[in-house]
Amino acid sequence: MTLRLRDNWLWDFWHVWQGEDCHLFYLQAPRSLSSEELRHHHATIGHAISRDLKNWTVIDDALHPGADGDWDDLATWTGSVIGHQGRWFMLYSGVNRSEAGLIQRIGLATSADLYMWEKHPANPILEADARWYEVLDLTTWYEQAWRDPWLFQDESDGSFHALITARSRLGAPDTRGVIGHARSLNLRDWDILPPLATPGGFGHLEVPQLVHASNRFFLLFSYGSQDLTRSRLDRSEKRATTGTYCLVSDQALGPFNFSSGGRLAVDTIGSHYGGKLIEDRSGRLQFLAFSMFGRDGRFIGELTDPFPVTLDSGLPEVGILSDDGGRPSEHSDEAKGFG
C-alpha cells in the first residue's frame, strides 16, 4: 500500500532499520494549504514504521519547528539518522521566520528509541562555510542552500560524514550545485570540508544519499526541471526532466564524476523524486521515492511502493514500468550519461 497521508502531503524522506522495523521519517505539510509551494514553510517531520516497505503504520511526529526566535522556528526540513553508542542521532535542516526562511542551517536531535527526540542545545551545529560554499546572495540564487544532510560512517577509521545540498561560491550562478561535505568524530562537533562532488551543471543537488553495494558507492541526488540550467538543456538533455539521478565511485568519498553518472528514475513530471535505495530484510535493494505531480498537473505528495533494483557493471537499474508496460525512456542507452 502506498503511504498516502489523509491530511498531509508527504515528500522528502529518510530511513533507518531497527531490528525488523524500518523507521521512515518524512517531511509533511497540510493538504489544506492553498498551494503546494507553501508546504516548505509549513513542514514538520513525520514518522512511520514498516516491515516490508509497503505497509506503513503512521505514529507520532518526530520533530516540529522550534519556539519563536529559535533558529528553526519556521520549518524543519530533510535529514538523516544513524545509530552510535546506543543512541540515535538525527541531523535535520531548519529555517527561521526572522530570515524569511532564506538561510538554511543544520541541527542535531538525539533519541534513545527513535520515538522521542531531543534537540541539541548547541543547535545549529552545521552552517555553510564561505571559504567553499555560497552564502546568501539573492543576485545569484533565491536562497542559501545548506540542507538535506545524509549521514554515514567511514568503516576504515570510524569517522562520520555528512553529505549536504550546497552551492559552490564560484562559477556561473545557475550551475553551482555541489555536494557539501562535513566530518565529525562524535556527531556533535563538525569540521566543514570542501565539496565532495564539484559543480556539474546543476543549480542544486537535492536530498543526497550514499549507498555501498557491489563494491561501488552510489551517490543519489534529485533535481527538478524547473531548475534545469540552460547550458544543460542545450548540451545533454533531450527534454527537461525531473527525478532521481546517480553518480558512481569506487570510494566513499569519491571522486564522483558527472561524466560517469546518469538518470536513475526521471520523467517530465517528477513521478520519482527524492529517491532512496533501501535494503529490505532479505538483503535486496529496493527503490522508493515520492510522487510529485500527476499527469493532470496535480501535486500528489505521497510515497511510492518499492521497486526492485538490479545491479550490474553500470548504474543501478530500477524496475519501474512505463505506462505501456515497457522500460521508461530515461533508462535507454541514449540517456545514460549526463554528457
CA–CA dist 224, 213 (Å, integer): 26
Domain 86-293+307-335 = CATH 2.115.10.20: yes
List of the chain residues with pLDDT < 70: 1, 226-239, 321-339
User: For position 331, what pLDDT does the model report?
Assistant: 39
- Do 319 and 310 meet the contact criterion of CB atoms below 8 Å apart? yes
User: For position 199, what pLDDT does the model report?
Assistant: 80
CB atoms within 10 A of CB 290: 26
In tens, the pLDDT along 105-140 reads: 999 999 999 999 999 999 999 999 999 999 999 999
Length of the chain: 339
Nearest alpha carbon to residue 48 among 118, 114, 92: 114
Has this prediction a pTM greater than 0.85?
Answer: yes
DSSP 127-165: ---TTTB----TTT-SSB-EEEEEEEE-TTT--EEEEEE
